[in-house]
Chain A
């Protein structure tokens, strides 16, 4: 337009339709938000232990003379919980975003389409049968038995889902959701059977899977799930360009030079590993994978080069906040975090559904 006022220096302005500046700024803001949330979570809890005091005490070599109890609370209870929250939140949100990119649909979520249920079945098999029928496989794996079994469960469901829902490179939304329900129900049947044959102590462990919780976060759990989740998160950025191309469909992605089959394989393994490891240590925490990427797409657009890292950061923030709510809303008792995320996430999901009803043709 000739009559447009030339305000900012032309060189600094991004061309119209280029949202990369906003995306970068939002990603940085999410990172800052995560730092703040993590710091608050570390200092906030049922006891009055001061995280700042403990940190200052460590830095000054004991000059602050903080009681040993406070040091244990901050170092062995709160810190593992915050780290686990960050890992799980990032893992679930990125898994959701990758899965949505893979299925080319904003409603795909590991929790909704049975991947988490498959992972739970794998984990519960280890809990119930780990000392019995599965002992020869479980014993050599040590603390990794649970995440590996959960990975296998999630992997089988994701593969089956892709086979059923995708035909000639096109994924049908309705088929995907319905196949997810069927596969989830099948996994639940297996879970139910294992609960039926479980003893009392195992049964108490099982209840935890159905609700999801960060309670009982330990350094051991972080050691078991952390490396797997970290690897999956590090792999995610390499999928970004391919997922962008894939949003135009499989054949167009191929025309753009993307090795589509390899991209799909890596994405499926990545999602199954991240979800499996998360479910293994924290149970089924739902809806993080659908809420976070969707909110971010509204803010910064769907470019996966920004969407994936921003999802990791915002997902971690969201889970820390949800954990804070679950710890305090019924204090001194603690609500399982899965209840909090479902109470917020399910209405959000319905809202997306209403907005997209016309497009989805369901």
Chain B
């Protein structure tokens, strides 16, 4: 479980996140949505251990403030919004960096095959020998996801669940690879891991999430299942946009069609 209780985050003297309560349990895909500047990324960075915060964050039962970087790295892996690379590593070398997370010793032999498995999973078979810096933005993002997968796949002795923390994982991807990546994260959760993702596409959030947190002006404005959270009044209030949510038959997921704005305005 990754859990936040009454967490506030300041950057400089400015308060970005106020009193956020949050839970991501093993087996669940949890997404965070909200307009630009609502504090999503800042909150996620606090959850990742990058920023100081007030309140309490517990990772796998322990107080995060007491945990060493390598202990955290053994429990959660983080996909950044964009990652630049300083030197010309090959794709395989970048992916393999995920395997060294939280450890100092040599790798067991079977780990050597994980980079190839991870690359196949993100649809980058045959890219292992290419230089990372020569790939397109979307390909680089998938390489980073493969690196993150290596980190959460590496065997854990205690069998404790691992967590994927994804900051806008599909922002620079085409529609096919958006679905590939979302499926990977959901499958990871189905098998007992946890997934936390910031998403801008509310329809993707509705399709994949077990639980959605809506952030607005630094606070958690609503939380619950997609059907519970994605309602006309909430979308209008938080995103300041008069968008109709289509309610599906029982059991389906709600969906939004952006062109309905134009119609209602005209």
Contacts and interface: CB of A to CB of B under 8 A. Distances in A.
B68 interface: yes
Contact of B68 (A19, A249, A259): A259
A252 interface: yes
List the 8 closest pairs (A to B, CB-CB), nearest first. A257-B73, A17-B92, A302-B87, A17-B128, A257-B102, A104-B86, A257-B70, A17-B90
Interface string A205-238: 0000000000000000000000000000000000
Contacts of A301: 88-90, 93
Contacts of B70: 257-259
13 contacts: A15-B116, A18-B92, A244-B100, A249-B80, A249-B83, A254-B50, A254-B69, A255-B101, A256-B97, A256-B151, A257-B74, A257-B102, A297-B87
Given A15-B112, A16-B128, A19-B93, A257 B83 contact: no
A20 B70 CA distance: 25
A237 to B, nearest CB: 12
B194 to A, nearest CB: 16
B50 A251 contact: yes
B68 A16 contact: no
Interface string B101-129: 11110000000100110000000001011
Given A252-B78, A257-B70, A301-B93, 19 more contacts: A15-B112, A16-B92, A18-B90, A18-B93, A105-B86, A241-B100, A246-B86, A248-B94, A249-B84, A251-B78, A251-B80, A252-B80, A255-B80, A256-B73, A257-B101, A257-B102, A257-B103, A302-B88, A303-B93
Contacts of B50: 251, 254
A318 to B, nearest CB: 21
Contact of A247 (B69, B72, B86): B86
Given A244-B97, A244-B100, A252 B89 contact: no
Contacts of A297: 87-88
B157 interface: no
A118 interface: no
Contacts of A251: 45, 48, 50, 78, 80
A303 B93 CA distance: 8
A30 interface: no
B156 to A, nearest CB: 13
B83 A248 contact: yes
Query: Which of B84, B97, B102: most chain A CB closer than 10 A?
Result: B97
Contact of B101 (A18, A105, A256, A303): A256
B98 interface: yes
B86 A258 contact: no
B85 interface: yes
Nearest to B119: A17
Contacts of B85: 247-248
Contacts of B69: 254, 257-260
A256 B50 CA distance: 12
* A: contact size bracket: 20 to 34
Interface of B: 45, 48-50, 68-74, 76-78, 80, 83-94, 97-98, 100-104, 112, 115-116, 126, 128-130, 151
Contacts of A101: 86
Contact of A15 (B83, B86, B101, B115): B115
A55 to B, nearest CB: 39
Contacts of A19: 90, 93
Contacts of A276: none
Contacts of A309: none
A153 interface: no
A17 B130 contact: yes
A106 interface: yes
Nearest to B165: A255
Query: Which of A245, A256, A260, A302: most chain B CB closer than 10 A?
Result: A256
Given A252-B78, A254-B50, A257-B72, A247 B128 contact: no
B161 to A, nearest CB: 17
Nearest to A298: B88
Given A256-B101, A257-B73, A106 B90 contact: no
A101 B94 CA distance: 15
B92 A15 contact: yes
B97 A255 contact: no
Interface in A3-56: 15-19
A255 B78 contact: yes
A241 B87 CA distance: 14
Interface string A99-121: 00100111000000000000000
Contacts of A303: 89, 93
Interface in A292-351: 297, 301-303
A188 to B, nearest CB: 29
A17 B78 contact: no
A16 B127 CA distance: 9
B100 A256 contact: yes
Contacts of A257: 69-74, 101-103
Nearest to B127: A17
Nearest to A168: B11
Contacts of B128: 15-18
Contacts of B101: 255-257
A16 B113 CA distance: 11
A257 B129 CA distance: 26
A297 B100 CA distance: 21
B48 A255 contact: yes
